[in-house]
Structure 1
């Protein structure tokens, strides 16, 4: 299978040390999120980036899109309206389906890398 288009080869993109950049504040005094890369496919958009929560106010978020998240540093206590609860640590992978309402808390901080089925900056 070729990775070329009519205009030539399709290159990949590299974001060096992306996890070391603190994302922008999005909610409360302690919730940070920033898209690093997003597709240009209007029919099936996909965005990826980092979510950081620091000790303080819990973040309650209702997903309007599907998202996968892998915990890469720190930890999160995560719960949903169905009664599921988990203490998520580095290496854990979570799936949040569209329509789920999730509460994130942490005793110190947590950093996760996400991939969501949504356009850039629409979290």
Structure 2
């Protein structure tokens, strides 16, 4: 019989976790947790964008994101463009090219079908 598995808690991650700079002068992203399934890993964490250079990102994996604070302007190559605010949920399919910008700042929590640090 397999040993029981314990869950993990990341106390106050939304307010305490500071994602590292990943692009430009204003785009920050960091994984908080990654599953242990080597064949189909899932990573989750936070993406923060501050006013400044837009981030253009091409997804090499499927991702879901919920906006937890601030606001984004999100557009894609199809011409779709939305103003995203707290509580909005997005699905970004593998292969999509998304542009993120913000008039002030935005904070999103994401879950992506990828290995830790592979964003």
TM-score range, shorter chain: over 0.9
Runs of 4+ residues deviating >2 angstroms: none
Deviations 1:71-90 (A, max 9, x none): 00000000000111110000
Cα RMSD of the aligned pairs, angstroms, is 0.7
Aligned mates of 2:116, 2:45 — CA distance in 1: 10
**Which of 53, 65, 69 is equivalent to 2:65?**
69
Tell me, which stretches of 5 or more residues in structure 1 are unaligned? none
1:121 aligns with 2:85: no
Structure 1 residue 69 displacement after superposition? 0.1
Quote the residue 2:9 is aligned against: 14
Aligned mates of 2:78, 2:37 — CA distance in 1: 33
The structure that has the greater radius of gyration is: 1
Alignment length, in residue pairs? 118
* TM-score under structure 1 length normalisation: 0.94
Tell me, which stretches of 5 or more residues in structure 2 are unaligned? none
